[in-house]
Structure 1
Amino acid sequence: MPPEDIETQGHAGLLIGSQWSPPADPTWVAVIAHGYGEHVGRYQWVAERLTADGAVVYAHDHIGHGRSEGERVLVDDFEGVVDDLHLLVQRAHEEHPDLPLVLIGHSMGGMIAARYTQRHPETLTATVLSGPVLGSWEPTALADLDEIPPTPIDITTLSREPDVGRAYEADELVWHGDFKRPTLLALRTCLETITRGGRLTVPTIWLHGADDQLVPIDRSDEGWAHIAPDGAPSKRYPGARHEIFNETNREEVLDDVLAFVHEHIG
């Protein structure tokens, strides 16, 4: 089913999002946090898998992204983005108060999801981190330069499926420009805050493409080691690039996500 548009007044402007409903009464709730420069419309296939499993799915474009308000990809402080995500989670709980809620974050959205899980564990049943920016991220070093150079993305790093990169390149809602210094500084600060924030107390899984060149797996793994709950599961996908939800083995990845979810939603 096509999603329904939803709106939330965020910390720095109006946030536009989507809600996908399952074919029958929902049995659980999924909230998706998307990555840097993209938007929730790129998660249609993921939402279809989740709704087919009985989930009602909520997501919104972060401030400065997609259809939401704000200067493009400008984030001064990710704590405000976490606050915005909390508004969406609260809405989901208000509309489905008796259902377990799982947070799913990809890339920068994985960083946001990790920080959210540290701040608001009481709202979550489980968390899924997909190729999350954790530990340290090389692009943040650009903030120390007098002038930030152009940093066009190599679309072949997204997925082994060529159509994924072509669709990304042609997507007018995707940011195709350069990094902005305040955002890079805010990313660095958030990563440091997460590392200092202690281990997550919500069941969480870390999933990563072994050939991820955008968010290299070793740095993310180092960050994960600081926050992983005791005995938390993780999985590396050999040959997979950054967008594991859009990879050639995406069915396997979503099977793993759903298997983990069902271990915890009862």
Structure 2
Amino acid sequence: MSGALDTGFIEEWQPGHDGVQFYTRTYPAASPRAVLLLVHGFAEHIGRYEWAHARCAHNGITVFAFDQRGFGRTALDSAHKSKGSSYGKTDLHSQMRDIEWWLQHLRNEYPSLPIFAMGHSMGGALVLAFATRSTPPPAKDSVALLSGVIASSPLVLQHVSTSRPLRFLVDQLSKIFPNLLFDASLPNQYLSRDPEVMSALESDPLVMQKGSLKCLSDMLNAGESLYKHDYQNWPSDLPVIFLHGDADKVTSYKASREFFDKLQAKDKNFETIKDAFHELVHEPKGVKERFMDDCISWILERARNGRHGTNGTTET
């Protein structure tokens, strides 16, 4: 599926459900067979996925991505961002509403195409949570818009858990100072084995490893809720695939497998990427291409056949 790719995309500022302006990118496929909504991870932005999204478009999948509220250009572009937007300012309720909003947007834009959602890390937990929330948002008819979910290194649980006293303190303070920024930095070398990725991260003005107290509290609580009981709400006919490196030092590979095993989905797959770190899309050459090609193949198979497939686990 490789080769010289045109990385052209359409960038737009578009209002969300509450009027907040979002920075968005669309990578249009010439003859689209499916649409993919990308939900990026904590403290990053959609510009980091350019090569991967171009690869999707080259293979018949139109990609729509947005810098989440509180992150990327949505939070930091002084010329275009909304007055109330600031770095780290977000919460689980808003994130669920945002995913719902953009899914409805994609259904209106591409009424005849199947829609898939892919999330990485925090974004992986968000797309899983979107399908399992027992109370609105989202509405059940919005979940029904999805033809499949891809969870890349999802934050179900942390690789090394934050101490309970600190979690309690953050939870309590988030009720008083929800938008107060808190340092949540991790060593960049935990993210990828590619030294060029490390260098790019260090010089990227849109990457700040901080989050609001409310964002951090909701992020960790949502993962635990998924792990402990929300898995029971998974729609049995909604296909899902997990892709996780077994050397991930950020999110728990073990918890991801255990969550997968508990899901009562008719079509579910788990792919272990041997020796891979957290950001599978930024692993060294050969690994990242195979990761994306596996995602593309999974989407196109279900785009052809509807909500059908086989359960299984693989190692690569």
Is TM more than 0.5 here? yes
Residue number among 189, 192, 196 corresponding to 1:159 in the alignment: 192
1:1-266 → structure 2 map (5 Å cutoff): 1-6=7-12, 7-11=14-18, 13-22=20-29, 24-69=30-75, 70-75=85-90, 77-118=91-132, 119=138, 120-135=142-157, 138-139=161-162, 141=164, 142-145=166-169, 150-176=183-209, 178-195=210-227, 196-197=229-230, 198-201=232-235, 202-227=238-263, 229-230=265-266, 232-248=268-284, 249-266=287-304
Q: Which amino acid aligns with 1:19?
A: T
- 3-state DSSP of counterpart to 1:68: helix
Give yes or no for contact 1:140–1:187 (8 Å, CA) kept in 2: no
Give yes or no for contact 1:19–1:59 (8 Å, CA) kept in 2: yes
Task: Give how far 1:204 is off.
Answer: 0.3
Unaligned runs of at least 5 residues, structure 1: none
Higher mean C-alpha deviation, range 186-195 or range 121-130: 186-195
Which whole-Å CA distance do the structure 1 matches of 2:279 and 2:206 have between them?
17
- Identical columns (%): 25
Which whole-Å CA distance do the structure 2 matches of 1:234 and 1:52 have between them?
25
Which whole-Å CA distance do the structure 1 matches of 2:294 and 2:249 have between them?
22
Which whole-Å CA distance do the structure 1 matches of 2:279 and 2:300 have between them?
23
Cα RMSD, aligned residues only: 2.3
Task: Give how far 1:117 is off.
Answer: 2.4
Higher mean C-alpha deviation, range 114-123 or range 46-55: 114-123
Q: Which amino acid aligns with 2:156?
A: L
- 3-state DSSP of counterpart to 1:56: strand
Task: Give how far 1:43 is off.
Answer: 0.8
Aligned pair count reads 263
Which whole-Å CA distance do the structure 1 matches of 2:190 and 2:248 have between them?
7
Give yes or no for contact 1:143–1:181 (8 Å, CA) kept in 2: no
Give yes or no for contact 1:134–1:222 (8 Å, CA) kept in 2: no
CA radius of gyration, larger in: 2
Unaligned runs of at least 5 residues, structure 2: 1-6, 76-84, 133-137, 174-180, 305-316
Task: Give how far 1:132 is off.
Answer: 0.4
Give yes or no for contact 1:12–1:63 (8 Å, CA) kept in 2: no
State the TM-score, normalizing by the size of structure 2: 0.76
Give yes or no for contact 1:107–1:132 (8 Å, CA) kept in 2: yes
Which whole-Å CA distance do the structure 2 matches of 1:54 and 1:167 have between them?
29
